[in-house]
Structure 1
Amino acid sequence: MLSAAQNDLITRITPGKPAGNLLRRYWQPAALAVELEGARPIRPVRLLGQDLVLFRDEAGQLGLLDRDCPHRNADLAFGRLEDGGLRCPFHGWLFDRNGHCLQTPAEPKGSRLCKNIRQKSYPVVERSGIIFAYLGEGEPPEFPALDCFLAPEPYVFAFKGLIECNWLQALEVGMDPAHASFLHRFFEDEKQDAAYGRQFRATSADSEIPMTQVLREFPCPDISVESMDYGLRIIALREINEQKTHVRVTNVLFPQAFVIPLSGTMTITQWHVPIDDTSCYWYAIFTSFDQPVDKETMRDQRLKLYTLPDYRPRIGRFNDYGFDPYEQAHQTYTGMGEDINVHDQWAIESQGRIQDRTREHLGQTDKAIIAFRRLLMTAIRQVEEGEKPIMVLDGEQAMSMRGPATMDGVGPTRAWQEYWRNVDQRRRVGAPWACSDTVREG
């Protein structure tokens, strides 16, 4: 249980707040690359409580500026892409992607006003279908050489979805292995030909047992948490019998992502990115280790649940998350359909816009959440004291980071440690793109 002051410390992320200062030390997902496709590649972005405009100029280069024009504060998200930059429709002031004022055409001939105007701009880069932004001061950190960034374009797929609650409670659901046996429980298992791209539907590695069956029949995992140089590794063991144990290895990638297995050949790296204090987007990169991703299928699956252009859920608080009492009695534990994103959304949004952690009572299954909160508070303190927190990487550190390893499989009960590492190594050796070196231990 936290105090109210501690809860505020780790949840509030607007400019000047301690957690906001921390998150501004890292690259943040700002948009999907596909959002800038089409005839007018301009998008309003609200990120960490700041209003911004993201665009590609006529040369295809990315720019991210404060959204209010420095002349009379009109909205640059309605601007015109022309003459090498973004032009405000109010008086025609023109800005390039670095925030330089190029023209003030309504000013008298010979005016030098433009020379003294600079719109705040921010570094932006595109990685694996996501456009990342750096909102902090000074030089941004280097990108770690993770699987989701090393994999070539055909082997990755990116998507996102809106969540109407604080970023931290959205992130914490991903570091809780026990909840899947209840929140995502299905009373019947599907055939494997329908499992592609769907969480907990495929069989575990080295087994014919669907993950849904494992979660349903073995609901009390033995959970361990290890500190790593990237954050935390979480291992959940569900002993099937004296010979076989289900092993699931997931990771928390500091400060706000987790890396989990989708299937024996695909992983998910998912960030929970604050829009402001009371809403966030999840951004996910699906990384395949065997075949190129069937992006059309993956996108169609997800667009059944989210509407464009803002990636709002079709099922949510506004329609009781599709709750059906008959379904709850006969088909799913929640009665909220078969997509686990809906289940998660109900769980975290029902905690309130910002969870009141003064009222919670944590148990043994919450040990990863406890460890992460400690890590988060330590990093906030380090930034306040002028120190460098975890995962603010230089070039050498970034290139040496791999993985992180993740898997879901059924192996020998007495030798599960060696087993899960062998499964990860086997997948890497067989991948057409991945480094076959063993993922370095933190």
Structure 2
Amino acid sequence: MLSAEQNEFVTRVGPGTPAGSLLRRYWQPVALTDELAGPRPVKAVRLMGQEFVLFRDEQGRHALLDRDCPHRGADLAFGRLEDGGLRCPFHGWLFDATGQCLETPAEPAESKMCTRIRQAAYPVVEKSGVLFAYLGQGTPPAFPDFDCFVAPDSHTFAFKGLFECNWLQALEVGIDPAHASYLHRFFEDADTAASYGKQFRGASADSSMPITQVLREHDRPEISVASTDYGLRLTALRRLSQASTHVRVTNVLFPQAFVIPMSAEMTISQWHVPVDDTHCYWYAIFTSFTGPVDKQQMREQRLQLYELPHYTSRRNKRNDYGYNIEEQRLATYTGMGDDINVHDQWAVESQGAIQDRTREHLGTTDKGIIAYRRLLVKAIKGTLAGEPAPLLVDAAQAAQLTGPASIDGIAHAPAGADDAEAGPVDTEAYWQAADLERRQRCEWAAARLAPAEQA
């Protein structure tokens, strides 16, 4: 439980706020690369309560500028891409990707006024189908060599979706391993062979057992949390028998992302990015360790739920998330369809625009949330005191941050052990070996292993 003051401290993200000051020290997703496709690659962006315009200029450079023209405050998101930059339609002032004003056409021909005008501009880089921007002061941190950033384009797919709630409660659902046994419970197990692109619908690794069966029949996971150089590692164990244990390893990438298994072949790296204090986007990079991602199928699956151009869910609070009483009785625990994004959206939006954490009562399965909040508060206080924060790394340090391991599988006792006589399953050795084996079988991941680890 947090006090009202503590809740404000960790949730508010506008300019000058404590949490906002911390988050501005990190690269933030601002758009999918696909959103700048088409004849006019210009897009209005609202991020952490500020208004920006994102564009790609004629030279192919990505740029993010403050949205209000520094002349008279007109909206640059309606600007024209021409003459090497973005031109305001009001008086024709022209700005390049660095924010430098190149022309002030209404001024006298001999005027040098444009040389003294610079619009605030922010670095933008493209990573695996997502455009990231840096809003902070000084040199941005380097991008760690995480799987989602180093896998080839053929093996990644990016998407996003809007949640109408604060960023923190949206993030916290992803670091809660216990909720899946209820929120994502299905009363019948679908054909796992048809699970491509769908989370919690396939079989766990090293088993033919559907993950839906695991979650439904084993709803009391043993959860442990470990501090890492990138944030936190969460391990959830579900004891299936004396000789087998379901192991799910997930990760928190500080400050606001997590890496979780989607299937035996694919992981999800997902950021929860504040639009403002009461809205956020989730941005996900799906990374394959087998063959290339079927991007068309992945996109078509998601567009059944999400509407463009704002990536809003067709099932939302205005239509009760598609709730159906017969479905809740017979098919799913929520009665809100089989897309788990809808389940998560209902859960976090139903907490309110900003969850009132003075009314919550955390249990033992919330240890990941507790550990993350402590890490967050420490980093915010450190930022206010001018101290370093986690994962603000240079290029050399970033190269040492790889992975992280994210596994959903079933660990078994040694072959030949009788179920009644089998000793404890070594679950840590299992997930480490499973992660290494998956990388050894994957061409792009194997190339990044140390020589002694390569198969």
Q: TM-score range by the shorter chain?
A: over 0.9
1:130 aligns with 2:143: no
CA distance in 1, matches of 2:345, 2:76: 32
1:173-322 to 2 correspondences below 5 Å? 173-322=173-322
Matched residue count: 440
Provide Cα deviations, 1:168-203, integer angstroms capped at 9, x if missing partner.
Answer: 000000010110000000000110232001001110
Gaps of 5+ in 2: 413-423
CA distance in 2, matches of 1:32, 1:207: 35
State the one-letter code of the partner of 1:20. Answer: G
CA distance in 1, matches of 2:51, 2:443: 41
1:421 is aligned to 432
| 3-state SS of paired residue (1:219) | coil
2:418 is aligned to none
CA distance in 2, matches of 1:362, 1:235: 18
CA distance in 2, matches of 1:394, 1:112: 39
State the one-letter code of the partner of 2:386. Answer: G
| 3-state SS of paired residue (1:14) | coil
| 3-state SS of paired residue (2:435) | helix
1:40 is aligned to 40
CA distance in 2, matches of 1:289, 1:151: 9
1:431 aligns with 2:447: no
| 3-state SS of paired residue (1:178) | coil
1:329 is aligned to 329
Q: CA deviation at 1:394?
A: 1.1
State the one-letter code of the partner of 2:211. Answer: M
Provide Cα deviations, 1:261-307, integer angstroms capped at 9, x if missing partner.
Answer: 00111000000000000000000000000100000000000000101
1:71-90 to 2 correspondences below 5 Å? 71-90=71-90
Preserved CA contact (<8 Å) 1:405 1:439: no
2:349 is aligned to 349
2:404 is aligned to 404
CA distance in 2, matches of 1:254, 1:429: 27
Give the CA RMSD over aligned residues: 1.1
CA distance in 2, matches of 1:197, 1:133: 28
1:57 aligns with 2:57: yes
1:151 is aligned to 151
CA distance in 1, matches of 2:73, 2:193: 54
1:395 is aligned to 395
Percent of aligned positions that are identical: 65
CA distance in 2, matches of 1:378, 1:392: 15
Preserved CA contact (<8 Å) 2:204 2:210: yes
Q: CA deviation at 1:48?
A: 1.0
| 3-state SS of paired residue (2:193) | helix
Provide Cα deviations, 1:27-74, integer angstroms capped at 9, x if missing partner.
Answer: 000000000111000000001111000000011111110000000000
Preserved CA contact (<8 Å) 2:48 2:276: yes
In the superposition, relative to structure 1, how do residues 438 and 193 fare at CA in structure 2: closer, same or farther (>3 Å)? Answer: farther
| 3-state SS of paired residue (2:263) | coil
Q: CA deviation at 1:436?
A: 2.9
CA distance in 2, matches of 1:249, 1:438: 25
State the one-letter code of the partner of 1:203. Answer: A
Preserved CA contact (<8 Å) 1:402 1:439: no
In the superposition, relative to structure 1, how do residues 28 and 54 fare at CA in structure 2: closer, same or farther (>3 Å)? Answer: same
Once superposed, which parts of structure 1, at least 4 consecutive aligned residues long, lie more than 6 Å away? none
CA distance in 2, matches of 1:140, 1:94: 27
Gaps of 5+ in 1: none
In the superposition, relative to structure 1, how do residues 230 and 438 fare at CA in structure 2: closer, same or farther (>3 Å)? Answer: farther
2:4 is aligned to 4
